[in-house]
Structure 1
Amino acid sequence: MSDRQDFVADHTDRPARGDALLTVADVLSFPVLQAGSPEVIVGGAALDAEVRWAHVSDSAGVARLLDGGELLLSTAAGWPHDADDLRAFVSALRRAGVAGIVVELGAQLPRIADPVVEACAESGLALIALHTETKFVAVTEAVHRALIAAQTDALHERQRLHELFTALSLQGAPADVVVAETARALGAPVVLENLAHEVIAVEPLRMPVAEVLSNLAAADRVPVQARGVRWGALQALPGPAHPAGRLTVLEQGATALAFGCLADGGDAEWSLLAQRGIIDDLLGARFASPADMAARLSAGGFSVAGRQCHGIVVRGALSAAELAYRARQAGCAVVAAQVGGDDVALLSLPASAVLTDALAVRIAGDDRTVFVGPAADDVLDLLSSLRAARDLAASDRSDGGPRVRRVDGRPLERLVASLRDDHRLHAHSERMLAPLVAHDRERRGDLLDVLAALVAHPGNRSAAAAASHLSRSVFYQRLALIGDLLDVDLDDGETLAALHLALLTRRSTSTS
């Protein structure tokens, strides 16, 4: 049997508490320990205890030499024999923070005493029996070698992370990019919230967003702060262990985010980024399920279920931030952003409320035009409402003053909004307009604009010519060319309706 001796803890340079990179289960898998024919007497969750050193001792008073995190290797030769003393011995080890106990069995100790097994089971302390003689010095060398290698890997990984997040800070990377890189480094979903618990950015990896947001109570969390100012929190759901430590990765990400906040002058840019991201993803249908989008909206205080919601577009001298402020002052939950030169917003009102013209003007302002999509009570309807409002805004060619225009008052546009994902509608548009599209592309013509003016002013070609900014004679020449290219009668009501539908479909595609 190999020589045994006690090692005084203070004489050895060990990893600091909390820096352990091995578990009892890891050590148990080492070949040198497997050669001892190990039997797990008490395992389960106890095998997940962190090991930061190995200590060899047969002494009954070994607990006073331990600092915590040690894996105790022993033949139990010096242990007490009385049952109560054995229980007290195990309790002392537990209080000292020992990670687990490995006992070598032999002729003098054919089995581990029941009081030891019972005490370990009660306290959740890993207990392993070795049935074959084992060189404990080889075990300690293997443990120490693995710990040093792991610490070296951790240092390299910390340096890599430092370089990564420093580069992101110097490049002025937006918050969503920093959050995405943090999630990839951790291999777990990461969420950035501001102090109001609004979700600024989320990288769910392969998990549904709704599931991520519903499990934040189990997340690791670090504050995003600098110079005594706190802006929010960076959170990571449970995931695999990381060589540098999960909290270290989160802290690096939080530091990069804090630098971004200092550079941008605060977290106002965060809110704009979050709202623009929601609207972009909604318009682009970039969400795995309506529940995911509903969860993102709800995290920002915007409820869809049981509410009356609308998509709106506001045209005029206005900012998304001002639009959002006006909407909140009017008692609406709101998500607003600028898209394509117009300010667009999602509004959420109580189910009993009505978005009257007066309320729409109060939100948009007296000197602006607001385009209002149909009421919606779920995410997909809200998407249709916002798309329809944008289509209506895109088709508006009048130079009139401020007003409220509603999709509900334009049944054909509402039909196109509801069927915009139907490939047959797009095939109809392409088939009918192909000659005009080709003509305008090849000759830089304006036939599509002229046709749009015609269908916008049915029965009044003088008004249509004025809307096209063309003289009546030139306008009529354009109409004749359109009729020839399409081989249709532009005085036929059904033909005009079909062309109007084709134009609206084409416009809806360009505003998606």
Structure 2
Amino acid sequence: MSDRQDFASDQTDRPIRATALLTVAEVLAEPVVQAGAPEVLVGGTALDAEVRWAHVSDSAGVARLLDGGELLLSTGAGWPEEADEQRAFVRGLRRAGIAGIVLELGVSHARVPDAVADECAETGLALIVLTSEVKFVAVTEAVHRALISAQTDALSERQRLHELFTALSLQGAPADVVVAETARALGSPVVLQNLAHEVIAVEPLRVPVDEVLARLADDGESVPVQARGVRWGTLSALQGPAHPAGRLTVLEQGATALAFGCLADGGDAEWSILAQSGLIDDLLGARFASPADIAARLAAGGFVFDGHHCHGIVAHGAVSASELAYRARQVGCAVVAARVDSHDVALLSVPASVPFTDAMISRIVGPDRTVFVGPSAEDVLGLLASLRIARDLAAGDHPGAGPRVRRVEDRPLERLVASLRDDHRLHEHSERMLAPLVEHDRERRGDLVDVLAALVAHPGNRSAAAAASHLSRSVFYQRLTLIAELLGADLDDGETLAALHLALTARRSAAHG
């Protein structure tokens, strides 16, 4: 047998419990343990148990002297001999919270007692036998050395994280940057949500966003984002690889940086604006791997398609996007709103039971505003098309043109261009017809394209077209003469005007992409 000591006190001095711990499986991988030719009798998830210390004892009363997390190394010399007592012995060790049992076979036990093996299997307690002799002191030294190394690594990593997130706080880094750094540190997707469950920022790390959001409830760990007794949201991460400092420690560091940022910004109002503007920007820019990603982000904020009328709208006027969003919610609509290119842009989800009338739209956008409404959409791609069409309609608007609520359904040319948006022949037609005017305006900083747009927007009323162009009638007519010469076209011909109107509409649609 190996030389070993079994102290009368049957206790082992140990360090204060640290976050950085080994698992039973990691202890088994140590070369000194492998030298004992270990055989795992009870393993599986039991090998994931955390080991915070190694304890050597052959005493039958060792359980009362343990604090939990110990890996018991023993020859079994003092273990009870009766099966019932052996089972009680194992149950006592389990209640003490030990990580597992390593039994060296030899003089005391040529094989593991059946009662011990059965009880370990039933209670899920790791049981390993060493078939060759090892020095237990060498095992404890290796375990303790690894634990101290892990603790040192944890302290170093905590310091690095503290410096990283402190720097982000001092720099006033936006929420999405903090979330991205947290995800990179953890090696798993991270999501920041406000109290309304809107997604403020997400770093999916190549995992589909809809999958990340769906898995959070069952496969996530979360910490609150709060300061001074006020909670603003939740920072969550999917399960991932172990981190030297502890995964929750990383999340808490990220949440602290976010809380400081929220305090500096005056609360979570900016977060809601960030969430909604980011969603609209991603939608308009087609910055999503799958429509399901956008659908999941919309659904997190209560925006659904089933049983609802969903539209993209654009509103001219001075009322803020946040005011528009507030009014939409007052009439029972789910809404995502943001300021884009000096206009309020919004996505509306209206219950099918609520009539989507002009009066309701006016109530949402506020009085004395012109609003452009895209067609109804049934999914994310349809919603993107609806919003793009509404923006096209708004871009072609001129003061005094049309009613205050303008729906794309009332604009057949807009509908046609929207349906042919991806047809290269439409864009070739636009470029071919307008090329002389575009080149003239680019070289001379002219306004011929705008003048032509005013003309087709006010057919048969050139005085109104001149007023819309902010030109005198004489200057306006001079511009028309130059346009006709450059195009080699008769601007009094209805077919020519229709072709030019189509080209202008297609050009505007392409500009809003």
Q: TM-score range by the shorter chain?
A: over 0.9
CA distance in 2, matches of 1:189, 1:383: 26
Match of 1:49 in 2: 49
Q: Is the 1:105–1:130 Cα contact (8 Å) retained in structure 2?
A: yes
Matched letter for residue 211 of structure 2: E
CA distance in 1, matches of 2:6, 2:509: 80
Q: Is the 2:176–2:201 Cα contact (8 Å) retained in structure 1?
A: yes
Does 2:74 match 1:112? no
1:73/1:422 CA distance change after superposition, 3 Å: farther
Match of 1:227 in 2: 228
1:436-491 CA distance string (max 9 Å, x none):
22221111111111221122123333332332223344333333333343344434
1:108-167 CA distance string (max 9 Å, x none):
422111111101000101111111111222221111111111111111111111111111
Q: Is the 2:42–2:127 Cα contact (8 Å) retained in structure 1?
A: yes
Match of 1:216 in 2: 216
Secondary structure of 2:479 counterpart: helix
Task: Tell me whether 448-457 or 410-419 shows the greater mean CA deviation.
Answer: 410-419
Q: Is the 2:20–2:154 Cα contact (8 Å) retained in structure 1?
A: no
Secondary structure of 1:3 counterpart: coil
Match of 2:136 in 1: 136
Matched letter for residue 448 of structure 1: V
Question: What does 1:268-347 align with in structure 2 at a 5 Å threshold?
Answer: 268-347=269-348
Q: Is the 2:399–2:468 Cα contact (8 Å) retained in structure 1?
A: yes
Task: Tell me whether 483-492 or 36-45 shows the greater mean CA deviation.
Answer: 483-492
Secondary structure of 2:184 counterpart: helix
Matched letter for residue 22 of structure 2: L
Q: 1:212 Cα shift?
A: 1.6
Q: Is the 2:370–2:405 Cα contact (8 Å) retained in structure 1?
A: yes
Q: 1:15 Cα shift?
A: 4.3
Match of 2:370 in 1: 369
Secondary structure of 1:215 counterpart: helix
Match of 1:404 in 2: 405
Q: Is the 2:74–2:103 Cα contact (8 Å) retained in structure 1?
A: yes
CA distance in 1, matches of 2:204, 2:62: 47
Match of 1:169 in 2: 169
Match of 2:353 in 1: 352
Q: 1:238 Cα shift?
A: 1.0
1:233-291 CA distance string (max 9 Å, x none):
21111111111101101111111111112112211111111111111111112222222
Q: Is the 1:367–1:402 Cα contact (8 Å) retained in structure 2?
A: no
Match of 1:379 in 2: 380
CA distance in 2, matches of 1:94, 1:493: 91
Match of 1:194 in 2: 194
Alignment TM-score, normalising by the size of structure 1: 0.95
Secondary structure of 1:354 counterpart: coil
1:426/1:158 CA distance change after superposition, 3 Å: farther
Q: 1:20 Cα shift?
A: 4.1
Match of 1:181 in 2: 181
Q: Is the 2:328–2:334 Cα contact (8 Å) retained in structure 1?
A: yes
1:434/1:44 CA distance change after superposition, 3 Å: same
1:60/1:206 CA distance change after superposition, 3 Å: same
Q: Is the 2:100–2:125 Cα contact (8 Å) retained in structure 1?
A: yes
Q: Is the 2:20–2:245 Cα contact (8 Å) retained in structure 1?
A: no
Q: Is the 2:75–2:108 Cα contact (8 Å) retained in structure 1?
A: no
Matched letter for residue 161 of structure 2: L
1:170/1:343 CA distance change after superposition, 3 Å: same
Matched letter for residue 304 of structure 1: F
Does 2:207 match 1:207? yes
Secondary structure of 2:470 counterpart: coil
CA distance in 1, matches of 2:78, 2:12: 23
CA distance in 2, matches of 1:9, 1:447: 96
1:9/1:207 CA distance change after superposition, 3 Å: farther
Match of 1:150 in 2: 150
1:355/1:230 CA distance change after superposition, 3 Å: same
Q: Is the 1:27–1:33 Cα contact (8 Å) retained in structure 2?
A: yes
Q: 1:45 Cα shift?
A: 0.5
Q: 1:192 Cα shift?
A: 1.8
Q: Is the 2:374–2:386 Cα contact (8 Å) retained in structure 1?
A: yes
Q: Is the 1:367–1:401 Cα contact (8 Å) retained in structure 2?
A: no
CA distance in 1, matches of 2:10, 2:339: 63
Matched letter for residue 457 of structure 1: H
CA distance in 2, matches of 1:262, 1:238: 29
CA distance in 2, matches of 1:32, 1:419: 72
Match of 1:77 in 2: 77
Give the alignment's Cα RMSD to 1 decimal.
2.0
Match of 2:481 in 1: 480
Match of 2:440 in 1: 439
CA distance in 2, matches of 1:306, 1:423: 35
Q: Is the 2:10–2:62 Cα contact (8 Å) retained in structure 1?
A: no
Q: Which runs of 5+ in 1 are unaligned?
A: none
1:13/1:366 CA distance change after superposition, 3 Å: same
Q: 1:423 Cα shift?
A: 3.7
Secondary structure of 1:326 counterpart: helix
1:300-324 CA distance string (max 9 Å, x none):
1111222101111111111111111
Alignment TM-score, normalising by the size of structure 2: 0.95
Match of 2:414 in 1: 413
**Equivalent pairs: percent with the same residue?**
78
CA distance in 2, matches of 1:490, 1:67: 93
Matched letter for residue 417 of structure 2: V
